[in-house]
Amino acid sequence: MNKLLAASLLILTAQSASAQFVFHDSFSPAPSPLWRNERGAWAGDGDRYFATNPSNNPPTLTSLTYQHNDFEITVDISDVSDGGIWLHIDDLALNGVLLVTGGFGSTGTGLYWHIMTNGGYSPPINQVSGLFNQGDDIRVRVVAVGDHYDAYLNGSPTPATSLTVPSPKSGYAGLYDFNSAWQSFDSVTLIFPCLADFNSDNFVNGDDYDSFASMFESADLGADLNRDGFVNGDDYDLFASHFEEGC
C-alpha cells in the first residue's frame, strides 16, 4: 500500500456526503463536457443530443466519466427509433451491457439487451415488443444492482424487461444512437451510491478509509470496487480518487 497516499487521505477533514451521487444533463444550453464522445461524433443543438455519424461497426458510444457499480439511470428519448443505453461499458468500450430501444433497423417497438464481450454482441436477450411505436417520446429507467438489471418504461413500477449476467460488473454509463436523423436524447440522470462513504454513515472521513484499508489489506472482495474479481491497486486508486473528491 502507498503509505504516502494513505497519509494524505487521512489528513483530509471529514466531509458531509450525500447517500448518493447525482449527475443530470438536460443538454441545454449545451451537452455537459463530462460526455466523452468516443464514437459517433455526438452533438447537441441546445436541448437534445445525438450522434451525427452513427455506426454499428464499431457501435456508437458516448459515455460519462463516472465509473460505478450499482446505479440507476433515467433517459428521456425523443422520436425513439434505434438507439439505447450503455451500462457498465469498460475503458476500451469492448465489454459491457447494451439496452436497445427500438432497434432492428428502426423498425423495433420495444426493448432488448445485448451483452458485449471483446467487441462482439450477443444475440438479442429478453426482447419485449409492442411497448411503443417508432417516433414516440419515451422515458427509460434502468436499475442495476449486483448482477441484475431492470428496465422500466414511462414511469411504470414494473420492469418491462430484465437481465441477469454471470457476475456483477463495474464500468461507465453511456448512450447509443443508430438513427441520427430521427432519434435524440433530451435528458439523462445518473444516480449511484457515494463510493467513498465506505461505511455508509453519510460522511466521508477516516472511518471510511479505515474500513476500506482493512478489507484491502486482507484482500477481502468487499474492497473489489471495480468488480474485476481482484483486490489490487486499481481498487485502491478508485477509492482514493473518490475519497479525495468527497464522494
> Residue ranges of the domains in the chain?
3-15+196-245, 20-193
Q: Alpha-carbon distance 56 to 78, whole Å? A: 21
Nearest Cα residue to 131 out of 161, 174, 162, 99: 161
Q: Give the three cell numbers for residue 68.
A: 460505478
Does the structure show a pLDDT above 80 at 245? no
- Give the chain's mean pLDDT: 88
Selected residue with higher pLDDT from 159 and 92 = 159
When comparing pLDDT for 37 and 5, which is higher? 37
| pLDDT category of residue 5 using cuts at 50, 70 and 90 | very low
Joined grid coordinates for residue 162: 430484465
Q: Which residues pair with 50 in a beta bridge?
A: 43
Indicate the fold that domain 20-193 takes in CATH. Jelly Rolls (2.60.120)
Q: What is the pLDDT of residue 10?
A: 41
Determine the pLDDT at residue 4. Answer: 34
* pLDDT grade for 141, boundaries at 50, 70 and 90: very high
Residue type, 214: S
Say what the pLDDT of residue 165 is: 95
> What pLDDT is stored for residue 242 in this prediction?
81
Asked if residue 209 lies in contact with residue 222, where contact means CB atoms within 8 angstroms, the answer is: no
- pLDDT above 90 for 88: yes
Q: At 93, is the pLDDT very low, low, confident or very high (cuts 50, 70, 90)?
A: confident
What is the model's pLDDT at position 167? 85
Distance CA 27, CA 134 (A): 23
What one-character DSSP code corresponds to residue 155? T
Give the range with max mean pLDDT: 10-24, 58-72, 126-140, 182-196.
Answer: 126-140
pLDDT band at 19 (very low <50, low <70, confident <90, very high): low
Q: Which three cell numbers stand for residue 183?
A: 432519434
Please report, in angstroms and rounded to a whole number, the separation of the first and last CA atoms in the chain: 21
The span from the CA of 124 to the CA of 165, in Å, is: 14
Q: What was the pLDDT predicted at 18?
A: 54
Examine the pLDDT at 8 and tell me if it is beyond 80: no
pLDDT, one tens digit per residue, over 172-219 is 999 999 987 789 999 999 998 877 887 877 788 888 889 999 999 999
